[in-house]
Amino acid sequence: MSLTPGDVERVLALALDLARAGETEQLAEFLDHGLPVDATSESGDSLLMLAAYHDRPDTVSMLLSRGADPDLRNARDQSIIAGALFKGADEAVRLLVAAGADLDAGTPTARQAAEMFGRGGLLEED
């Protein structure tokens, strides 16, 4: 059975909502059934970006363990880690640093965002 373009759009919308909500197990099932781990919204926000931005460390960890790219940027050239810094999602930032996220990519970079919000210590690996 093939999915229609409308079906694909609905599945992606559901998956993006699961990432935002931190519904890790349900999102993992979508991935198990073939949803690409780096699927993005129309504005380029990846599942990982939404999970990190909404401070869902369990979901961030699951996505990273399945190969999600910590360096994908959205259509506004925003990096995942800079967005997590902006939102104060400390555990997500730590997970992204540990995964090797590029601290100099995007606008602003993670280093610039950390400086703006006084959170530079989060960018240091333990």
The encoded tokens of residue 66 equal 């399945």
Residue 18 lies in a domain: yes
pLDDT at 22: 98
Residue 36 structure tokens: 């690409």
Pair 38, 69: CB distance under 8 Å: yes
Both tokens assigned to 78: 């925003």
Give yes or no for a contact between 83 and 52, defined as CB atoms under 8 angstroms apart. yes
> Given this model, what pLDDT does residue 72 score?
96
- Picking from 52, 64, 62, 58, the residue whose alpha carbon sits closest to that of residue 93 is 52
Read off the tokens for 95.
């997970």
Range of the structural domain that residue 41 is part of: 5-120
71: domain CATH number?
A: 1.25.40.20
Q: Closest by alpha carbon to 111, among 95, 97, 126?
A: 97
Q: Is residue 50 one of the residues assigned to a domain?
A: yes
pLDDT band at 122 (very low <50, low <70, confident <90, very high): confident
pLDDT score recorded for residue 1:
60
Domain count, the chain: 1
